[in-house]
Structures are given as structure tokens and as C-alpha cells.
Copies of this chain bind each other. A is one copy, B any other.
Amino acid sequence: MAKGPTVYDVAQEAGVSIATVSFTFRQPDRVRPATREAVLSAARSLGYVPSASARGLARGRTGALGLFAFDYLIDSTAVAAGRSDVESPPEDPNESYRIFPLYVDEIQRGVQLECWKRGYALMVGGGNPNTTETTLTDIAGRVDGLAVFPNSLPQAILERISQRIPVVEVSETLLNRELDHVTVDNFGGMRSLVRHLVDVHQLTDLQFVGGLTSSDNRARWSGMAATLTQYGLTPRPLAQEGEFSREDIGNLVSSLHAAGALPQAFVCATDEEALKTLDALKDAGIAVPGTVAVTGFDGIVAGKIARPALTTVRQPMEEMGRAIVGLLINRIENPEQAPVAQELPVRLVVRESCGCSAP
């Protein structure tokens, strides 16, 4: 690769100064048409490609945004297990994970589209258990703003980066509200869901399933609790505080079953937990929605394919991605503004697992 031509080469070829070359690209109207043509054709014939590094250095901004996500290698075996109609044994290692687009992917898509639309380039970074500080500052040094998924990187590093460039968080608010972030109406979504269960299906005995580690989950739980209270009903207490594994859920189900104390519905904090619950219930030979209903939250694709299809609350993932970019750009242009928390609406998606019949 020969070192490419620079502004100097183009300037010489066109018989103008480098400033004129720069203007021609940045503010075409500032130069006389004839000059512009000369520069453009010189650039074209030379195969000139402006150096983003040089420009970034000079302008103090890179024109790129970053997206940092944890490198989730989901074990879809567990997810797939809930779907009786899909072959379960992975055919080869390549197919053993990521059968469906995940939450993260869908948001990433929104981020990409919005970035391009707004004229920003997008750098994607991936965390993994041993993300070094170097990797991280490396990407931080390349962008004008960074979007991060919850838990995708240590709080200390996050803090440091956010001192340097705007950072927006998805869902979670780790750094005490100093950062912009986008969330969804978890409380309201859960309220709609619970109302559906109570009003339409006449259910009164609901069990929440989900850890209370994320703020999303906490909001969902409180939405459920508050709504039931309005009806004069009492939600079943939580089984545990932390994350629920497939095994945890299996144990929960069997002990409840053994005690003859099954709820009328398992209201899960996330689709993933709901899928695991579907799976556990199936193992225990308990009919869904016949004997007990199950609901999720998120709206991931796997829930749509599951049988029974999962009733859930869908987050507007693509919109979230776009909103993230909007906040980032807004803050880049407007650094001093107070932190913004943008809340997006969710939508109840009624399918089969709540007791409604298939369309």
C-alpha cells in the first residue's frame, strides 16, 4: 500500500493551497465553482482519501461513536429446551449458541442505523471477562461518545472514561445518575401485564420470578406489587434475591408442586427466566397455560417461537438504540446540560402462555 496522497498532493495538483483543499471538502460553498472542480478532480485522479486521524486530531473530535457490549455467549441449549418443536441437540459447535438475535443485537441494530443516519461512524467493542484497561481506553480514545450495556465493564473504568467523553448507559444506572441513560417503562409494562392476568384470566395468585439485582427488575417487581395491591391482592413473596438459574427455577417449581402450592401464574422478570420456567414446568409435567400461566418481559425472539408462545412485554429495542445515539450526540453538542433519563414505552404482547389462545 503506497502511502496515499495527502492534502498537499491534491493542492499541488490543483494548483491551490492546502487550505483551499480543506475548504473544498468541508465548506464547498466557500470556494469558487471553478476552484472546487479543480480540487475535486485532482482529488479524484489522485485517489485521495482524507485521513480520519489527522482530521480528528485537528478538530478535536473523531466523528465516531462507540458501543461496548459484553461478549455474551449465550447457552441457547437452555432456551431451546423450552421449545418442544425444535430439534434440541445442537448439530455442531457453531450452532450451539446464539440461535436467535438477542436483546443486545436488536439494540445494536438501532444504534447502527441511527449512527449512520446522523453521520457518525460506529466502533464496536466487546468486553470479555479479562478486558484490560488498555483495550478499554483504546476504544475510549477513538470516539466522541460511548454507549455501554450494563455490566459490560468495571465501574472504575466506566467512571474514568465518562470523565473524558460522554457515556450513556442502557437500562442500568450504575454511576449514580451522573450519566445519561435510556430506560423503558418497566413499571407500567408490568402493570399492563398484571391487569391482563387479573382482568382477563381472573388470576389472583401470582408468583414473581426474578432476581432483584438490576434496576429494571426492581421496577418490574414494584410494578407488579403495586398493581396487585390496587386490586386488593397480595403478590407472592420473592423466592430469592439473586439471579435465577435453570436449576433454581426447577427447584422452585418442584417444591411448590410438591407442597401443592403452585401459584396460578409465574410472572417472570425476563423472557429468559420465563423460558426456563416453561422448561421446568414441562419437566414437572405441569400444563401451561392449562394449570399455570407464565409470562415474561423483554420480547426476545425466542419467546415468540416457544410453545406455548410467551406472553410478554416488549421493549422497543431498535428505538432504544436510536435513543442512545440521540442522547450521546446531544450531549456531545451540549456538554453542560443536566443528565437526561429518557424513558421509552413498552407494549404488552399477548400470546399463549397466559391462557389466551393462539391467533
Residues of chain A touching chain B, judged by Cβ–Cβ distance below 8 Å, are 1, 3-4, 47, 49-57, 60, 62-64, 71, 85-87, 89, 91-92, 94-95, 98-101, 105, 109, 112-113, 116, 121-126, 128, 135, 137-142, 160-161, 163-166, 301, 304-305, 307, 309, 314, 316-319, 335, 347, 349, 351, 358-359
Contacts and interface: CB of A to CB of B under 8 A. Distances in A.
B1 A164 contact: yes
A328 to B, nearest CB: 12
19 contacts: A4-B164, A49-B141, A51-B56, A51-B57, A53-B54, A53-B56, A53-B62, A64-B142, A87-B304, A92-B314, A94-B317, A94-B319, A95-B304, A98-B101, A100-B100, A116-B135, A121-B138, A121-B139, A123-B123
Identical chains bound together, number: 2
A94 to B, nearest CB: 6
Contact of A124 (B51, B100, B112, B358): B112
A92 B4 CA distance: 48
A47 B160 contact: yes
Interface hub of A105, A121, A122, A139 (most chain B Cβ within 10 A): A121
A325 to B, nearest CB: 13
Contacts of A335: 1
Given A85-B85, A141-B49, A141-B50, A64 B123 contact: yes
A92 B347 contact: yes
Nearest to A159: B47
A301 B53 contact: no
Contacts of A62: 52-53
Given A92-B347, A94-B316, 11 more contacts: A49-B140, A52-B62, A52-B142, A55-B141, A87-B351, A94-B317, A94-B319, A95-B314, A113-B126, A122-B124, A122-B125
Nearest to A60: B3
Nearest to A127: B116
Given A123-B122, A347-B92, A137 B87 contact: no
A70 B317 CA distance: 21
Contact of A305 (B54, B126, B305): B305
Contact of A1 (B141, B166, B304): B166
Nearest to A85: B85
Nearest to A165: B1
Interface hub of A1, A4, A92, A314 (most chain B Cβ within 10 A): A1
Nearest to A57: B53
A351 B87 CA distance: 10
Contacts of A4: 163-164
A306 to B, nearest CB: 11
Contact of A47 (B92, B163, B316, B317): B163
Given A89-B359, A92-B347, A116-B126, A99 B301 contact: yes
Contact of A52 (B116, B141, B309): B141
Q: Which 5 A-B pairs have the closest CB atoms?
A: A53-B56, A52-B142, A52-B141, A53-B57, A4-B164
A222 to B, nearest CB: 26
B98 A100 contact: no
B164 A49 contact: yes
A122 B67 CA distance: 10
A57 B60 contact: no
